[in-house]
Amino acid sequence: MATARPAGRLWIAAALLVLIALAAGGWRLERRAELARRLLTTPADAAASHPDLVRFASAEARPLFQHDCAACHGRDMKGNKAIGAPDLTDRAWVYGKGSVFDIERTILYGIRSGQKRGHDVTEMPAFGERGMLTPAQIDDVVQYLLAINHRPHDSSAALRGHDVFVGPASCNDCHAFDAKGDAYYGAPDLTDNVWIYGGDTQSLWNSIYYGRHGVMPGWRGKLSLEQIRALAVYIHARSMSKAN
């Protein structure tokens, strides 16, 4: 009988460990469910001010981003100028001001995605291909863009470019007279030296001559609302991080 007691104690200890593990697993599931509920029921922009929700959303969103978003925006979220996928870690936004609500709406419905609520008010026209501007006029507008970004430029050409910008090209209709852009149209700020398709002279020229028609799919119906909210909170947190 004496030899059976240690085995019995070991069995009891193992059973206790299993019960503890089950209890811990149940607590984690319950905690996750509570955080998921709060993430969805807290107003989008308010979620960013709750550190526990940001941590939870970020943990949930990281693998989602790598699986569904990194192909265009890069694993480091820095974007891809070759296809016009913007850097998501800076504070320059094409649509909206970078709030969780703005980001969430873009993820939900996309850009020129064909979805009814997607961003699709206007696009960058092909000024050269359509014969709206001559190559020389485009050269001048490029010099104007370099000038307002405090980069080396031809001053005389930049002055002519300004006249084209607000004259025959009517760039100010979307980008505003001060070239600061308009988030409603999705017309980016042209003065912050942040470029979706590249800011070198040739890339700027190509954007004006050939136009741009970037597309982002809408993820509603492909991802759950909780996943989309988590991605929006995560991207917002990355863009606001001082590490960027």
> What CA–CA distances, in Å, run from 17 to 14, 22, 28, 29, 54?
5, 9, 16, 18, 32
What is each CA distance from 51 to 27, 31, 35, 56, 145, in whole angstroms?
20, 15, 11, 9, 40
Query: Hey, what amino acid is at 210?
Result: Y
pLDDT (tens digit, 0 to 9) for every residue of the chain, 244 residues total?
444 566 666 666 665 565 555 555 565 778 889 999 999 999 999 999 999 999 999 999 999 999 999 999 999 999 999 999 999 999 999 999 999 999 999 999 999 999 999 999 988 999 999 999 999 999 999 999 999 999 999 999 999 999 999 999 999 999 999 999 999 999 999 999 999 999 999 999 999 999 999 999 999 999 999 999 999 999 999 999 865 5
Q: Which residue has the tokens 């009814």?
A: 116
In this prediction, residue 5 carries a pLDDT of 64
Residue 1: its pLDDT value, please?
Answer: 43
Task: Write out the two tokens for 17.
Answer: 């460990």
Instruction: Give the pLDDT score at 31.
Output: 87
Q: What is the pTM of this model?
A: 0.85
* Measured distance between the N- and C-terminal CA atoms of the chain, rounded to whole angstroms: 68
The pLDDT value given to residue 2: 47
> Which helix H or strand E contains 59, and what residues bound it?
helix 51-68
